[in-house]
Structure 1
Amino acid sequence: MSSIVEEILSRADIVEIISSYYPLKKAGKNYRTHCPFHPERNPSFTVSPEKQIFHCFGCGVGGNVINFIMLEEKVEWKEAVRILAEKLGISLKEWKGENTLYSLMEKASIVFRKFLLKPEGKSAFEYLEKRGVSLEISEKFKLGYAPPVNWLRELDDFSSQDLIKGGLALEREKEIYPYFRNRVIFPIFSLTGKIVAFGGRTLEEIEPKYLNSPDTPIFQKGRTLYGLNFTKQEMMKKKEAILVEGYMDFLSLFQEGYENICACLGTSLTENQALLISRYAEKVNLLFDPDEAGEKATLRAIEIFWKAGVMPRVVVLPQGYDPDSYVKERGKEGMDRVISQSEDGLEFYLSKLQKIEEGNLTRILEKCFQAWEEMKEIWRRDEFLEKSAHLLSLSLQTVKDMWVSYRKKRRFYLPNVQQLPPSSEIHLLSLLLNFPQERQNIISKIPIELISDSTIKGIIEKLGKIEEEINIPKFFEKLSEDEKRVLSGVLMKEIPHKDPLKEANDCIEKLKQREIGRLKVEISNLEKEGKWEKVVEILKRLDELKRRRV
């Protein structure tokens, strides 16, 4: 798969894209609407932000965001990629040199790392040592150093145009100069683990203290979260994220064992960054500096996460600390304690607004309504109205009346879900998708000839060629249309599992017994027809099947 497609799949949020065509309503952790591809009375078209796929339980259509655009716009695959690139602000012309830029970033990272470990990198090395960054963390995150001299000569394999386009150089009076000078370097990774940009912390008394790469064809700051490529799996497992502001906050907490964490590159949180977190977490703990700027950033982040459908909580540190200094002084036990005491996002928001608006309840509620009217989780509004009434010592009816006058109330209902029929073959497929560590073991036990559904058989064969954990949207690019329909349905059904190996053995035993039953019927029919040679042949197959152990 080309890196442009990988980039589109990593940047595109399927909920955001589909909701730009049709209104989606929250249903559990997924979203639903009436299927745009067949007439129906009850909504059965389901979109998963976690898996980045869609599936209709009515007509069976399903796939990733590219497949949706193909169906909706009635276009071929290439045109769907172009449409998505345009929606995401990705220039396909600029992307023609994408491989060169990725190679440049990788080479630059090696150069920065080399400088850190050489004598000229002593000040940067000592800085990281003083900040408590272990050698293991430094190596894992490929930390480096950009010296004050012109280090661009180390990249003479690349043209000046590439260096400028990649954000590593500036052009002044027809001369090019390094973008980073005398700075500790933090490589910034894409969701797929490729280096796409850098952050630099100055070792001098100059501003800005932190400097990020400019936006490039392969990097958009507002769509990237530092460290997420390393932590997204743990985030998904816990369904909870910790968000900090800067690189050192991230590294210090990660080093202490917090592996569901990411950082917003030291800048204000964007809606795209919040949507990115919503793919992996249902709740986020905001761990910002406790100063005035940090408080403003927290209030804005709460509003953005409400809109993204992620419920924020606020971790309040004592004055004079930031996450980095606090975890260093108090350790993981101390940080665990303040995280466990985090405040509900709405309570924090209202308490701060009361001070900002000097107790003016009308302005406070209008500010709340502005934040709530674009919430994806519309059903939460009633809960928020009730809670706000209690916290502001108002009657619920008063708050509801003010909301109605602010905007007409929208009705919402949860549709009935049409489930897929139970099947041992579907159950096996679900096991292979949900337990990558057991995938090859289970596949080795499956008698593939006993899989009756040719579509499921094709998916299992493709899964057998993948040893690592599956990136669902990317895997869909390898499937036929029928395979996409079946797989999206299995993924959306979310079959509960307890003991994967025992369940796999049970499913295989059912397949075996089903085939034994089929062969017995075939033998009976052949006996009636007097085809004894065929009967003997099938009896041998039957005996082999009965003796086969799972």
Structure 2
Amino acid sequence: MITEESIERLKQMIDIADVVGSYLELTKSGASFKALCPFHGEKTPSLIIHPQKGFYHCFGCGASGDAIKFVMEYEKLTYPEAIEKIAGLYNVSLSYTDVASNAPKSSLLEKLSSFYQKRLESEPNALEYLKSRSVHTNMIERFEIGYAPASSETLRFLEGGFFSQNEALELGALAEENGRLYARFIDRLTFPIYAPNRKLVGFGGRTMGNHPAKYINSPQTKLFNKSKLLYGYPLAKEAILKEGKIIVTEGYLDVILLHQAGFSYAVATLGTALTLDHLPLLSKGEPKILLSYDGDKAGIAAALKASRLLANHGKEGGVVLFSGGLDPADMVAQKRIEELNRLFLRPTPFVEFVLQKSVESYDLSSPLQKEAALKECGGFLRTLSPLLQEEYKPLLASLLKIPASLIRTVKSPRHPLAPPKEGIGAGGSELAEASLIKTILEQPRLLEFVLEYLDSEVFGVHQAEFELLKLGEFEHPKLLRILLQERIHPLEESVLKEQLRLMLRHFYSKKLKEIAANKSLDFKIRAFWLGKIRVHLEKLEKGGLVPYESFGAL
């Protein structure tokens, strides 16, 4: 049993945003984060993560709890298993009440990996292959490369270690067909695959014979999901954070040889296209993402799909394609390290790559084909921010050999150029007020600036929410609801000032009418305030701002 002391020690170290962020892509929302809830189907984020308070809450399905609860629910683990999982993430050693019987034992996969590594030492064909690919001995050890022998040898090893067949089947070490058990990996080089928390979850294997499937991976299991994993990530993580970049390749040997050449921030997808599920890992530390793909038809198609995904999510980086049938591993083997370095220093930006390759797929000598190319590329551009749309319009016009005026772009709904001037209503429309509040929630530094000009009295619909902002209650449910509503868009700072001006103009116009109609007020007091308000309104009409003024008990 894990001791309470070590559990408490671990809890003090846990950052819930780190833990949840290792599973989901998080977006900053003021002092909190938001994400798509994994516990129910949704298209807009309703899961809020509170780092300061250490808990999460979903406004869609009601799921809530701390980091341990999240891991339990997401991974379907028991409480002790979730503790051990998080301890692995933080590289923390846990204490147990009975070390002999309760300390974690080496898993079946770890034992199997050791068996494969030992078996490689006596397999000359596999060693010769690695030598032919210029893989150094220290890289074989670092990446724990092994060799899976005949099925019967693996079965004998598992039986000798008293591992249950059910466990071996559940973890993908064995397979079963017509009641016959056999090893999943046979006559293959093995590449252990680790989760980001450094837990061994599966293997990749390259055939040493003539098997039609040159590479295979472990099957989908409770631990192994190839769409969420990147080969080599735990070994690359430190360099990724230090260098601020990550190279994404297509193969195990590409990763190993790139690390050998000093590019220790290289990882690989596991025989699958880059997907949304990879983004949480790729986003850690916000590195520049370099796609390193083969220059054949399949490689270009994969790079194009990945570039669209990364461009749409505002990721920085680009694409490096390798021609002549070469890949990064080949170039390292040929000692073309400087050439590799130059290629990685000059990637083709994602948007540029998408436009170039999309246009190349059409016959531009045909007007109809050119129109189809314009439609496809224009549609892609319109998924980007207004700034990027304008930046890349000249490039697309040049590629298509058409005037830039023919390329239609749209304003991003997230960055409106001006708030609506109609329908301001009492103290500003509900949507305008909510947009102002959301802006402050996402950029708390603006609160002090806004307070120079507004107070709750200026608001019509959202007075209570603005009071919560003033009190610093950024995680109050009323404010979180505003954060989660996609129809409410934060404002750029220039637009924020215009919104303040419109709200103040409405507020003072309303006060002017109220005071002018209040015959119970002393004449001098009424004249003083009417004069002051008219000065404020004159300045506001000219486009300026005036500080908020309280009218007390008037």
CA contact (8 A) 2:22 2:280 kept: no
In structure 2, the partner of 1:462 is none
Local SS of the residue matching 2:326:
coil
CA contact (8 A) 1:113 1:142 kept: yes
Q: Provide structure 1 residue ranges, at least 5 long, that are not aligned to the other structure.
A: 19-30, 33-43, 50-60, 422-550
C-alpha deviation, 1:64, in angstroms? 8.0
In structure 1, the partner of 2:24 is 13
> Structure 1 residues 69, 46: closer, same or farther in 2, change over 3 A?
closer
In structure 2, the partner of 1:247 is 252
> Structure 1 residues 304, 420: closer, same or farther in 2, change over 3 A?
closer
Q: Deviation per CA, 1:100-154, whole angstroms, max 9, x where unpaired?
A: 997111111111111112x2x2221221122111111111111100002421221
C-alpha deviation, 1:340, in angstroms? 2.8
In structure 1, the partner of 2:288 is 283
| Structure 1 Cα separation of the partners of residues 405 and 277 of structure 2 | 35
Aligned: 1:218 with 2:226: no
The AA in structure 2 aligned to 1:129 is K
Q: Deviation per CA, 1:263-285, whole angstroms, max 9, x where unpaired?
A: 11233222212342122344222
| Structure 2 Cα separation of the partners of residues 46 and 365 of structure 1 | 40
| Structure 1 Cα separation of the partners of residues 119 and 193 of structure 2 | 18
Aligned: 1:363 with 2:372: yes
The AA in structure 2 aligned to 1:104 is L
The AA in structure 2 aligned to 1:388 is L
The AA in structure 1 aligned to 2:65 is W
> Structure 1 residues 75, 171: closer, same or farther in 2, change over 3 A?
closer
Q: For the pair shown, which has the larger CA radius of gyration, 1 or 2?
A: 2
TM-score by length of 1: 0.60
| Structure 2 Cα separation of the partners of residues 378 and 13 of structure 1 | 27
CA contact (8 A) 2:247 2:292 kept: yes
In structure 2, the partner of 1:67 is 55
The AA in structure 1 aligned to 2:56 is F
CA contact (8 A) 1:112 1:145 kept: yes
CA contact (8 A) 1:101 1:162 kept: no
> Structure 1 residues 201, 10: closer, same or farther in 2, change over 3 A?
farther
Q: Deviation per CA, 1:423-462, whole angstroms, max 9, x where unpaired?
A: xxxxxxxxxxxxxxxxxxxxxxxxxxxxxxxxxxxxxxxx
CA contact (8 A) 2:308 2:351 kept: no
Q: Choose from 150, 154, 158 the match for 2:157.
A: 154
Identity percentage over the alignment? 28
Local SS of the residue matching 2:321:
coil
Local SS of the residue matching 2:201:
strand
| Structure 1 Cα separation of the partners of residues 361 and 105 of structure 2 | 46
In structure 2, the partner of 1:127 is 129
Aligned: 1:237 with 2:207: no
In structure 1, the partner of 2:139 is 137
Aligned: 1:185 with 2:190: yes
C-alpha deviation, 1:66, in angstroms? 7.0
> Structure 1 residues 302, 127: closer, same or farther in 2, change over 3 A?
same
CA contact (8 A) 1:184 1:203 kept: yes
Q: Deviation per CA, 1:10-58, whole angstroms, max 9, x where unpaired?
A: 642242xx6xxxxxxxxxxxx44xxxxxxxxxxx445499xxxxxxxxx
In structure 2, the partner of 1:321 is 326
Local SS of the residue matching 1:115:
helix
In structure 2, the partner of 1:293 is 298
Local SS of the residue matching 1:204:
coil
CA contact (8 A) 1:226 1:263 kept: yes
CA contact (8 A) 2:21 2:280 kept: no
Aligned: 1:107 with 2:123: no
Local SS of the residue matching 1:287:
strand
Aligned: 1:311 with 2:320: no
In structure 2, the partner of 1:335 is 340
| Structure 2 Cα separation of the partners of residues 130 and 188 of structure 1 | 23
> Structure 1 residues 367, 229: closer, same or farther in 2, change over 3 A?
farther
| Structure 1 Cα separation of the partners of residues 270 and 446 of structure 2 | 43
Q: Deviation per CA, 1:452-480, whole angstroms, max 9, x where unpaired?
A: xxxxxxxxxxxxxxxxxxxxxxxxxxxxx
TM-score by length of 2: 0.60
> Structure 1 residues 397, 66: closer, same or farther in 2, change over 3 A?
farther
CA contact (8 A) 1:306 1:372 kept: no
| Structure 2 Cα separation of the partners of residues 216 and 65 of structure 1 | 33
The AA in structure 1 aligned to 2:119 is F
C-alpha deviation, 1:386, in angstroms? 5.2
The AA in structure 2 aligned to 1:398 is L
C-alpha deviation, 1:218, in angstroms? 0.9
CA contact (8 A) 1:70 1:77 kept: no
| Structure 1 Cα separation of the partners of residues 196 and 184 of structure 2 | 24
Local SS of the residue matching 1:127:
helix
CA contact (8 A) 1:372 1:381 kept: yes
In structure 2, the partner of 1:207 is 212
CA contact (8 A) 2:72 2:79 kept: no
CA contact (8 A) 1:314 1:343 kept: yes
C-alpha deviation, 1:211, in angstroms? 0.5
| Structure 2 Cα separation of the partners of residues 346 and 174 of structure 1 | 52
Structural mapping, 1:451-470, within 5 Å: none
CA contact (8 A) 1:274 1:304 kept: no
| Structure 2 Cα separation of the partners of residues 293 and 351 of structure 1 | 16
CA contact (8 A) 2:386 2:412 kept: no
The AA in structure 1 aligned to 2:55 is N
Aligned: 1:410 with 2:421: no
Aligned: 1:398 with 2:406: yes
| Structure 2 Cα separation of the partners of residues 366 and 95 of structure 1 | 55
The AA in structure 1 aligned to 2:155 is L
> Structure 1 residues 322, 75: closer, same or farther in 2, change over 3 A?
closer
CA contact (8 A) 1:149 1:181 kept: yes
> Structure 1 residues 325, 75: closer, same or farther in 2, change over 3 A?
closer
> Structure 1 residues 172, 101: closer, same or farther in 2, change over 3 A?
farther
Aligned: 1:388 with 2:388: no
| Structure 2 Cα separation of the partners of residues 369 and 67 of structure 1 | 42
CA contact (8 A) 1:347 1:391 kept: no
> Structure 1 residues 337, 154: closer, same or farther in 2, change over 3 A?
same
Q: Deviation per CA, 1:59-111, whole angstroms, max 9, x where unpaired?
A: xx941897232788666527x8667776x6x4458997999997111111111
C-alpha RMSD over aligned residues: 3.8
In structure 1, the partner of 2:93 is none
The AA in structure 1 aligned to 2:129 is Y
> Structure 1 residues 12, 287: closer, same or farther in 2, change over 3 A?
same
Higher helix fraction: Structure 1 or Structure 2?
1
| Structure 1 Cα separation of the partners of residues 326 and 53 of structure 2 | 43
| Structure 2 Cα separation of the partners of residues 102 and 226 of structure 1 | 21
